[in-house]
Structure formats: C-alpha cells, structure tokens
Amino acid sequence: MNVYKFFLSLSLTIVMLLLMDPRSFYGLSFHEWAGLIIGLFFILHKILNWGWIKKVTMSFFRKCSGKARLNYVLDVLLLAGITLMILSGISISRTIDFSWLNLGGSPMFWRVMHTSSSYITLALFGIHLGLHWNWILQRLHIKKVKNGKEN
C-alpha cells in the first residue's frame, strides 16, 4: 500500500508543479483537464489515508500528538484550497464548457480566487511534503540526514 501512496504523492507533486503555469507544457486545455484530474487524485489520496483521518478526527481534542494535529489542520486547509482552485477553475474555464453550472460571480473575482488559492495551496503543499519528508526518504530507501550525518 505504501508504494501506491508514494507514487500517487509523486504524481500529485509533479502535476501540481506543471499546472502552475497554464501556458506551459501542453497549454490551457491540459491545464484545465489535469486540474480536474488532480482533484480526483487528491480524493484518492484521502481515501488511501482514511484510517489516519478517522483516527485523528476522533482524538483531535483528546489524546492526539501535536504533529498529528498540525498535519490534520494542514490537510483541511489543503482540502479547502484544492476545492477553491477547482471551483474557480471551473468558473473561468475556456476549453471545457461548464456554463451549465452557472456558478455566478464576476470572471475577475474567480480569476483572482483561482490564482490566490493556487499559490496558497502550493505553499501549503510544500509544507505538507516537508512534514512527510522522512516518510518520502524511507520509500526511496535513503537514510535521513540529521546535523550533516546519516542516521
């Protein structure tokens, strides 16, 4: 299971970085479709980690480590950020027709929301990766380095 989680996390990281500039890579159409698909991968990531989510949710205000609480809050913020990115992306989409959803609001509002939530979510994503760095190194069979020495 950890192998699947690792490759899913790696895929999310790569696609997230590719999506930061809608004009690069394969253009706006790729940006919009990959943005929707990354949302599905994010949901899959949460499903694979559902045991942890349930455990921390049940013990958040009782017996729960500070690191688990921090990860949990960060995950909630990431969920909010990705939700805002997808909703705002749908509302400003140019290559996929979502006009039938009629989300309302001005295009400028949604564009600012999309850009802002993207940058904030990218920063949160970086923090999330940093907090899980030792897990990543273990999956790559790299010994963690502490104070310049291998452990």
Given a cut of 60, whether residue 151 has pLDDT beyond it is no
At residue 19, the pLDDT reads 83
Q: Which residue has the tokens 């958040």?
A: 60
Closest residue by Cα to residue 22 from 99, 114, 107, 87: 114
65-85: pLDDT as tens digits: 888 889 889 989 998 998 999
According to the model, what pLDDT value does residue 113 have?
Answer: 95
Predicted pLDDT at 94: 87
CA–CA gap between residue 127 and residue 101 (Å, rounded): 33
Q: Look at residue 77 in the predicted model and tell me its pLDDT.
A: 94
CA dihedral 17, 18, 24, 28 (to 10 degrees): -120
Considering the entire predicted model, what is its pTM? 0.77
Taking a C-beta distance cutoff of 8 angstroms, is the pair 68, 56 a contact? yes
SS3 state of residue 27: coil
Tally of domains within the chain: 1
The domain containing residue 55 runs over which residues?
2-150
